Structure 1
Amino acid sequence: MFRSLTALVLAGSLALAPVANACTGIKLTAKDGTEVAGRTLEFGTLVDWYVTAVPSGTQIKPELPADSGGLTYETKYGITGMTAYDTTNFVDAINEEGLYVGLFYFPGYASYPDLGDDNRAKALAPQQYATWLLANFATIDEVKAHFDDIVLVAAEFEQMGEVIPMHVRVVDKTGNAIVIEPTDKTLKIFDAPLGVITNSPTYDWHMTNLSNFVNLSTVNVPPVKLDGVELQAAGQGAGMHGLPGDFTPPSRFVRAAVFSQSAIPVETGAEVLEQAFHILNNFDIPYGAVRGEESGKVAPDYTQWTAVADLTNGTWTVKTYDAQNLRVVDVKAALAAADGKVVHIDSKKWSQSFEDISSEFK
């Protein structure tokens, strides 16, 4: 078996697909009304990550080629969350009004118009879209009314050397959720009541695909008799037999929908935060299990961090590949800090902590 597995891995390495960036997002609600939105972040190369706080009144400039114009604006609301590199480009964040936005990779489907005289005045690069939404809006209704007031153009994210193919999930503190996707060189919006998102294909395709799994149940399958012979399920979980277990975006979307919708509601915000992390643990990709190719080298796509935003209580919590212990950011406290607007995720500082309980034996 192991020899066959090794041969399969070697054969796969000869025809590697591009880096997959297999992110997964869910949302949950506690009985006390607390709304949380969580996600994993996978990448095939290690990105320089920062936990960043951008106060209201901060000027944000367009990341477009020099002297090509674009939209410059000031943030109406303060924002706290994760940015890629030391920038104001939020990948996953919450603003001071409890609006959450997460940016997810959308390869093969995202398309943007070129920068031109007709769109120059309101143009932004794709990696700036989450920040613009968080900076200007407090509710889903506001986002729906203005999501396409700007134009996302085909501008390269300099630090990553590519035009970022992305779509976004937006959730507000009432639990309303939408997905916005740049397809056919325009922005399209979808209501997302389940709050689930992964990657390609398009959101409406994923929702249609869910119909293929209406047979799934949280209840175990009862025994059946065939010619007097009683057959029983092999063990617990028989109702979920057929749930796709691979790491492809369609399979992760189905699992995320099933796990989040079948979760038994808990009482408080603290409990639902913990529940979200437990569900997201099911999407933690081990280093080496999924492989792509980056600059001619094997690039394992793995979970670099997992985060959950509490939209009701205004916190953003994260754990990383190197440090599974949770680190919490109070949004208002971070924004009020006189300095230290950026916390660099450095594996030398953010390491796993272990509690020695040897002395507690009785």
Structure 2
Amino acid sequence: MTRTKAMAWAGGASYLLMVGLLVGGAPRAPGMVHAAGALLAVTLLAGVVRRMPLLALALALFGSTAVVVGAQGPVDERLAAYQGRFLSYLAVDLVLGFVVATCARRASIAAVAVSFTVQFLVIGGFAHGDDLTGDGVIAVLAMAASCMAGLLSRERREHAAALRTQEVAEAVTAERLRIARELHDMVAHSIGIIAIQAGVGSRVIQTQPAQAQEALRTIEATSRQTLSSLRRTLVALRQADGGETASAQSSLAPAPGLADVGRLAAATADAGVRVDVRRSGRRRPVPADIDLAAYRIVQEALTNVVRHAGTGYCRVSIDYGDEDLSVEVVDDGCGVTGNVPPHGFGIVGMRERAALVNGHLSAGPRPEGGFRVAARLPLPDPSHAAVEAR
């Protein structure tokens, strides 16, 4: 038997002992004394209430009824002895409120019915004259108040549990979307380059072995880079379980950013699309989430150029403004055609990335031909960022 359970049983036994002393030791005491004694004695049932609320209600109902029924004395003194003694049932109502708040609805309804029946049978049998109506009304009001408090507590607890469940579900959904965006942005660009280089290599392997060999080297390098990125993502996911070793954690590379756009442009050029990178404004460090979002938007836009534009040139513009960071990818290709799969997630993912940092993204064909992707990502106030850095 655990210590908590032993203390609960000891409290129940002490309650019964105190009720016995109250009834047998002071049978001629005023009713208010018995009522106050019953209310104080019910605190001994705190351990039982937490573990077995229905048993605690039964004990409180038995004890309060014993206090009412156990009065003795001459008939002419009995009215004075019973005056206020029905208030001992307030102890029952306190336990009843806890039962309504914590137990199943069917058990709560049964507890209320039993408590109501016992109280009114005792009050009807021992109240006299006009006191019967007054005592009955007080008992009904007290029981209704305790039940209402229990119902409000139950509803508040159920509402809090529903909110926690909703928050967990929203967090899981947000994390799934984040992982989906990362995998899509990370893999789609590399797979597009690999597919194009594989096609080039297969066409020239007989006539131009040197070019085919160069295509294979590009495929190998791109594949290794993609595998490394996938490994970093998987290690980051495993870290949530605390099961990653220190050596694996130390091998993690920082997340890519705008500083890596040059390398991204070189990889895109290997796929047959020359990228002209233009930077303007005062170059400075930007928050990591904005840096990553801008890089992923450029990466996905270049992937779409390689896969769908049908052109050999595009321009990437990066502008460091005073209040926002602007990135733009423009090509002079065929724009959106019927060959683009309707189930792609590229533009959707770019919009989500921009929205996550309170930015805005627009994507669509240009009037003069080609396609344009432009994003504006707001930057924090430098003075505010400096205060936070302290």
TM superposition score normalised by structure 1:
0.22
Which fold has the larger relative contact order, with Cα–Cα distance below 8 Å and residues 6 or more apart in sequence? 1
Structure having the higher strand fraction is 1
**Which structure's residues are more often helix, by fraction?**
2
Q: If you compute each CA radius of gyration, which structure gives the higher value, 1 or 2?
A: 2
